[in-house]
Amino acid sequence: MTRIAALKRLATNQSNRFLLPQPRRTCIILSQRAGIYVATDPIHNNNNNNINNKYYSSSCTSGLSLSPKACCIQYREFHASIGVNSNKDDANSNNYPLHTVLPFPALSPTMEIGTIAKWEVSEGEEFSAGSVLCSIETDKATMDFEAQDDGIIAKILRDVGSNGTDLQIGTPIAIVVEEMEDVAAFADYVATNDDDDDGGDSDSSKDSSSAAAGLEPSSTPVVGGETGTSFLLPSARFLAESKGLDATGLTGTAKGGRVTKGDVLEAINNGTPMPALAVATKEKAPEVSSTTVAASAAPVKIPLEDLPLPVVDTYGTYEDVPNNKMRKIVAKRLTFSKQEVPCCYTSMEVELDAVLKLRKKLFADHDVKVSVNDMVVRCSALALRDVPEVNGSYDSKTDTVRLSDSIDISIAVAIPNGLITPIVQDTDKLGLSEISDKVRELAGRAREGKLSPEEYSGGTFCISNLGMFGIDEFTAIVNPPQAAILAVGGGVRRIVPTPYVDGADEQQKPTIKTIMTARLSSDRRVVDEATAALFLSAFKHYINKPELLLL
């Protein structure tokens, strides 16, 4: 029994029919690798099979019999830009064996563009499922792209850095084959415009897939009707005009007889006669006598000469430094915040002497090292627990305020490439030592670019501390969708006058205190001024009584 017949028999078996979806058209292509037979239904064969390809794989242990007991049918839906091409029914792949176009992946929920930092697998090298194919630099970090299946890299379409350009999600980056002998066939493979455009005939593919059931279009373009009677899709028209041919006489395979690019290619390869494209000629303008011209000519205006611009000598030189992806994303998000988010700002000065005293006591008595920033994070978490209205976000689509149950504080960390905000999950449930260890670990991996997307995406509140850089006070910008960010400066030694006591014989002398300025930037749609004042009051309460942080 042949492979196709065996697979058809399995597909029509009554006990396994529910496992195999029934497409409109069935065109079965088989390939074998390590006992795995892959059946492909290339519904969009004329469009390089790169849109919504459906695969039916059968893992068999009994050779070619494909018995129902030894097989397990699986349905797999691949990325829209992945195409499995064969040397059959594909005009663009007549010289290439069965292969898979590997697209540029989205490794984080907010990722839109990226670049390839390093290829871990070279051309002609085998890889297995779970192997790292390449390192991809996203807007936040550099992450590994792991293979989902076994294969061989036949051709790398995008080199490291991609010539300084960012790659969109779905852009083809490599060609993967199953057999080692197929690698040599892709030595001169060049990515076409169809590959870069995620399937050049996406319009025709959608038309073909949305055709009514029972109406099956022809698989081969034929000459039908007179010239100019068929409707050409833009890609087909461009291809025909570049070849100097008039393809309007073809009957296409898309919905309503539309002619696709694949139809034109197949007609050219099959030698289907098509007339030459008519070239429009310009008609000779009628001659006009000189007297008529002189009589009808308007007065000629003498053009004014441009005034010479003075040459200004500039002193000094400069250099244009291009932004990296992270700085571009940060600039885009913060510009959006300043333009769209109505902010209000509230400040409060707090004394740090009690915090510094507790910090020294913990180190002396228990050998526990915690920083002032760790205590600020702990105080902010407890203040958010007391004033939950600050722990929310604004949903512009539904025009509602969304309050979060968990308190996840983002910590702004400066790195060489820009700024990143790793998240301490459930901050209010952690102690001082746990917060200290977590912040130190996240900040270290952030500087190395090894954070995973879930470790810097989200968060309900943000803290930016510039006290270690010698900054006394500053104003931070709200990072949407969060509703507030706390800007913390460094402690400053300051003379603080004591309150005057009426009737006392001797007034207390002024004291020297360490003062820190905390400024809250908040989204006015979520946090109003009164709520911001309550939060800063709670924050000051925990700073003045740091022993509450140990509870």
Q: Is the pLDDT of residue 220 over 90?
A: no
Q: What is the 3-state secondary structure (H, E, C) of 298-310?
A: CCCCCCCCCCCCC
Cβ–Cβ under 8 Å, residues 77 and 54: yes
Query: What is the structure's pLDDT at 71?
Result: 39
Query: What is the structure's pLDDT at 471?
Result: 95
80-84, 294-298, 358-362, 382-386: least confidently modelled range:
80-84
Cβ–Cβ under 8 Å, residues 260 and 252: yes
Name the band, by pLDDT with cuts 50, 70 and 90, for residue 303: low
- H or E element that contains 511: strand 511-523
Percentages of the chain per state (helix, strand, coil), in multiples of 5:
30, 25, 45
Name the band, by pLDDT with cuts 50, 70 and 90, for residue 193: low
Cβ–Cβ under 8 Å, residues 411 and 377: yes
Name the band, by pLDDT with cuts 50, 70 and 90, for residue 223: very low
Buried (b) or exposed (e) across 472-483, using 16+ Cβ within 10 A? ebeebbbbbbbb
Cβ–Cβ under 8 Å, residues 206 and 133: no
User: Which has the higher per-residue pLDDT, 480 or 51?
Assistant: 480
Residues, the chain, total? 551
The Cα–Cα gap between 259 and 267 comes to: 11
The Cα–Cα gap between 495 and 509 comes to: 10
Query: What is the structure's pLDDT at 540?
Result: 96
The structure tokens 């885009």 sit at: 332
CA proximity to 269, closest of 98, 94, 83: 94
The Cα–Cα gap between 31 and 532 comes to: 65
Cβ–Cβ under 8 Å, residues 205 and 117: no
Query: What is the structure's pLDDT at 286?
Result: 53
Could you read off the pLDDT of 108-133 as tens digits, one per residue? 777 778 888 888 988 889 998 888 99
Verdict on whether the full-model pTM lies above 0.75: no
Query: What is the structure's pLDDT at 212?
Result: 35
Looking at the chain, the whole-number percentage of residues with pLDDT higher than 70 is 69
198-207, 222-231, 420-429, 433-442: least confidently modelled range:
198-207
Q: Is the pLDDT of residue 429 over 60?
A: yes
Average pLDDT over residues 330-340: 92
Query: What is the structure's pLDDT at 476?
Result: 96
Instruction: Report the mean per-residue pLDDT for the chain.
Output: 76
Query: What is the structure's pLDDT at 345?
Result: 97
Strand partners, 37: 32, 58
The structure tokens 């006015």 sit at: 524
Query: What is the structure's pLDDT at 25?
Result: 35
User: Which has the higher per-residue pLDDT, 380 or 85?
Assistant: 380
Query: What is the structure's pLDDT at 164?
Result: 52
The structure tokens 């959006």 sit at: 336
Cβ–Cβ under 8 Å, residues 66 and 56: no
The Cα–Cα gap between 330 and 140 comes to: 9
211-220, 328-337, 433-442: least confidently modelled range:
211-220
CA angle 48, 54, 59 (to 5 degrees): 120
Query: What is the structure's pLDDT at 329?
Result: 87
The Cα–Cα gap between 114 and 112 comes to: 7
Name the band, by pLDDT with cuts 50, 70 and 90, for residue 195: low
Kindly state the tokens that stand for 244: 């100097």
The Cα–Cα gap between 349 and 491 comes to: 10
Q: Is the pLDDT of residue 342 over 90?
A: yes
Strand partners, 115: 137
- H or E element that contains 347: strand 343-351
Domains for the chain: give ranges and CATH numbers.
1-77 (no CATH), 96-202 (2.40.50.100), 218-269 (4.10.320), 341-497+509-550 (3.30.559.10)
Query: What is the structure's pLDDT at 162?
Result: 57
Could you read off the pLDDT of 447-466 as tens digits, one per residue? 888 888 889 888 999 999 99
| Eight-class DSSP state of 259 | B
Cα distances from 314 to residues 307, 310, 311, 319, in angstroms, run: 21, 12, 10, 14
Could you read off the pLDDT of 74-121 as tens digits, one per residue? 334 444 444 444 443 443 445 688 888 888 888 877 777 888 888 898
